[in-house]
Amino acid sequence: MKYTLASLQTRSPHQPPLSITEATMEPVAVLDFCSTCGHDLRQLRGVWPKECPNTACKTVHYHPVHTVVLGLIYDDQGPLIIQRGIEPGKGGWAFPGGYQNYGETIEQAAIREIWEEIGITVEPAALQYFGSALSNTGNKSLVFFVARVPDLEQQPRRLCPTETLDSAIATTGSQLCFPSHQDMLAKFFETHAR
């Protein structure tokens, strides 16, 4: 049995965002024809993974899922948040993070993204899994880490000139631009009592 990733046909910017219902049916990728043999797969719209009905092929196509890693780096005051300089959520506040690259573990990706976005070094031993969530389109797996960085307020910050507009220490009243980040902020203050 052969396994391939479904080819990505991205949505036009003129199309409205996917609703959760649509997302559940056909998240982002559309694969109407088998990329191995060309067989018509339209009868499998909304079905993932898709096994090619051509009995001579039977290739199984999986929907691509991307991993996004986020870091809640904190000291006694609370976790650090950044004001985003790029979409989605441009101008809003969120935890620093980004896509896992090919060849990286999720821990390496989290350390790299925190370094790229705010210039703070997190030691691998300080990084701990905190929780996960799905994007509303279902094709991104969000993995949240916590890392205690002593004297966070005194650490020099080097904001990424293109991706990060500002940084701050979050409080219980901070408004974040993604619901999953807001949930993790609440969980942080529940589990990391000061």
Q: Which is nearer to Zn ion, 54 or 83 (CB)?
A: 54
> Between residues 42 and 194, which has the closer beta carbon with respect to Zn ion?
42
CA distance 143 to 116: 18
Cβ count within 10 A of residue 65: 16
CB of 6 to Zn ion, least distance (A): 12
Q: Tokens for 82?
A: 């950044």
Coil/strand/helix, residue 140: strand
Judge whether 29 and 64 are in contact, CB under 8 Å: yes
Minimum Å gap between C-beta 34 and Zn ion is 3
The 3-state DSSP class for residue 10 equals: coil
Contacting Zn ion within 14-53 (CB under 5 A) = 34, 36-37, 39, 52
Smallest separation (angstroms) from Zn ion to the CB of 115: 43
103 φ/ψ sector (left φ>0, alpha ψ -120 to 50, else beta): left
**Contact region for Zn ion (CB under 5 A) — 8-16, 56-64, 130-138, 142-150?**
56-64
Residue 57 touches Zn ion, criterion: CB under 5 A = yes
* Cβ atoms 51, 60 nearer than 8 A: yes
Q: Which is nearer to Zn ion, 59 or 100 (CB)?
A: 59
94-117: b (≥16 Cβ within 10 Å) or e: bbbbbebeeebebbebbbbbbbeb
Q: How far apart are CA 41 and CA 49, in angstroms?
A: 12
To the nearest whole angstrom, how small is the minimum distance from the Cβ of residue 57 to Zn ion? 3
Q: Which of residues 98-117 bind Zn ion (CB under 5 A)?
A: none
The only residue of 4, 54, 137, 141 in contact with Zn ion, by rule CB under 5 A: 54
Closest CB 139 distance from Zn ion, rounded Å: 22
Q: How far apart are CB 62 and Zn ion at their closest, in Å?
A: 14
Q: How many residues bind Zn ion (CB under 5 A)?
A: 8
- Residues 146-175, mask of contacts with Zn ion (x by CB under 5 A): ------------------------------
The residue with tokens 């339209």 is 42
Positions that interact with Zn ion (CB under 5 A): 34, 36-37, 39, 52, 54, 57, 59
